[in-house]
Amino acid sequence: MAVIHHVALKPAKLELLTSWLPSQPWYFGGAGEPELAKAGGFRLDDPQGEVGIEFMVVTDTSGTRPTAYLVPLTYRGAPLDGAEHALVGTMEHGVLGRRWAYDGCHDPVLVAQLLALIEGRVQAQDQNTSDTPDREVTRSYTGDSPAATDFTATAVDGQEVTELSAPHGPALRLHRILRPAPDNTPVLPLEATGHVAGAWQIPDGTRARGLFVVLRNGGQAASVGPS
């Protein structure tokens, strides 16, 4: 299990994201810089213990209405070859030293562990506490064989999603802009075979719930209950 170090980061994660978010095609903020607050998320463990994996939810209140963003991040002790375009920034960690933070959609370690989560082979971990599962994160997988692992390293950004595809058809769709599900019960699209859903805090202090990730490859629509 990854160990969470409660130490200062320079710059802090929200400072990095304040500079990085406006450059993304799915950013929906106002004319000024984002006004960000951490609203939720979870972690996954790297089996090799080298890469930090975090799915962070941040809320931006700079626009006409608050917007929640899902930002998958990886933290590495050295640059990731070929991923210069996905670099969010570098930070100084009080214990681990310099860390390179990447948009995790372009990091094969995050993608592999996300698929493992969808299939139920690993558990989502609490964002702030070591060795503690996050029970608010739910997942499903209805395929009769392991999901494809050969997703392309190039993630295609849309207005609200980032999609990764595999040569034989499956696609991972990460919802960059999060929308609360009616009655907090997300409904999968018809072609979905798997999902990850989670919860986050909205500015009025209540909890919202919605889809984070959908694995698309045929199937039937279904309400998403606890995994």
* DSSP 8-state symbol, 90: E
**Range of 14-18, 25-29, 89-93 with top mean pLDDT:** 14-18
- Provide the whole-model pTM: 0.90
The whole-number average pLDDT for the span 83-101 is: 87
Amino acid 157: pLDDT: 86
Angstrom distance (rounded) from CA 76 to CA 58: 21
Confidence of residue 25 (pLDDT cuts 50, 70, 90): very high
Q: What is the pLDDT of residue 177?
A: 96
Report residue 123 as tokens: 């558990």
Report the pLDDT value the prediction gives residue 10, as an integer from 0 to 100: 77
pLDDT, tens digit, 9 for 90 and up, residues 35-85:
999 999 999 999 999 999 999 999 999 988 999 999 999 999 999 999 999
**In this structure, what token pair is assigned to residue 20?**
């990085």
Q: How confident is the model at residue 219 (pLDDT cuts 50, 70, 90)?
A: very low
57-66, 114-123, 157-166, 195-204: range with lowest mean pLDDT: 157-166
User: Model confidence over 179-216: pLDDT tens digits?
Assistant: 999 988 998 988 899 999 999 999 999 999 999 999 98
Q: How far is CA 91 from the centre of its chain?
A: 19
**According to DSSP H, which parts of 100-187 are helical?**
108-119
Least confident of 7-11, 12-16, 166-170, 223-227: 223-227
> Nearest 5°: phi and psi at 103?
-65, 110
For residue 6, what pLDDT is reported? 54
Question: What tokens does 22 get?
Answer: 């406006």
Least confident of 5-9, 93-97, 182-186: 5-9
Domain range list for the chain: 9-216
Nearest to 88 by CA among 5, 12, 38, 19: 19
Of the candidates 104, 141, 98, the residue with the CA atom closest to the CA atom of residue 10 = 98
Q: How far apart are CA 159 and CA 173, in angstroms?
A: 12
CA distance readout (Å), 142 to 20, 88, 168, 212, 216: 36, 34, 18, 17, 11
Q: Decide if 174 contacts 105 (C-beta within 8 A).
A: yes
211, 176, 179, 209: which is closest to 194 by C-alpha? 211
Whether 222 shows a pLDDT value over 60: the answer reads: no
pLDDT at 16: 95
